[in-house]
Structure 1
């Protein structure tokens, strides 16, 4: 499998990562202290960012893309069979 590592301090090579960080920073600025009492709020932010449609996935959410991939693999290999 080909693996790609971004150069240190090269933000332009990590576009997806920086995009996700920006989405989180809208809710939690850098100086925000995260306390255990904020667990529900943090989970809501995680759910929102994880369920956002992405252009690279054809405007599907990551969960939808994962489900489609599982269905495709199941159809190729047959459901619940051992070889």
Structure 2
């Protein structure tokens, strides 16, 4: 079985955030309820057949801003931005950050 390289730095992220990573089994959506919820939220702005090439250049940043500034019950009704900004953590998918 082949795996991608998207999680090769998970040990570094675990150390920086003092968390433990969990990897779901393939084809087991019941193991990743949070991910399924996140995908559902993103589909509000990016329906399945959306051509990403047709989106305006700032569309992704706008969608990320909406997503990261929406309060979540699981975060005590704080937004992801409010929770993660104090950690001063940046990753490759954070707009404006550089790989590291």
Residue equivalent to 1:62:
80
Deviates more, 1:1-10 or 1:17-26: 1-10
Distance 1:3-1:37 versus aligned 2 partners, 3 A rule: closer
Q: Cα RMSD between the aligned structures?
A: 2.1
TM-score, scaled relative to structure 1: 0.68
d(CA) in 2 for partners of 1:68, 1:26:
28
Residue equivalent to 1:11:
29
Distance 1:30-1:54 versus aligned 2 partners, 3 A rule: same
How far apart are 1:2 and its partner, in Å? Answer: 3.9
Count of residue correspondences: 70
Distance 1:69-1:28 versus aligned 2 partners, 3 A rule: closer
**Which 4+ residue blocks in structure 1 deviate beyond 6 angstroms?**
none
| Greater C-alpha radius of gyration | 1
TM-score, scaled relative to structure 2: 0.58
The reply on whether 1:47 has 2:65 as its aligned counterpart is yes
What stretches of structure 2 of length at least 5 have no aligned partner? 1-18, 89-100
What stretches of structure 1 of length at least 5 have no aligned partner? 71-83
Structure 1 or 2: more helix by fraction: 1
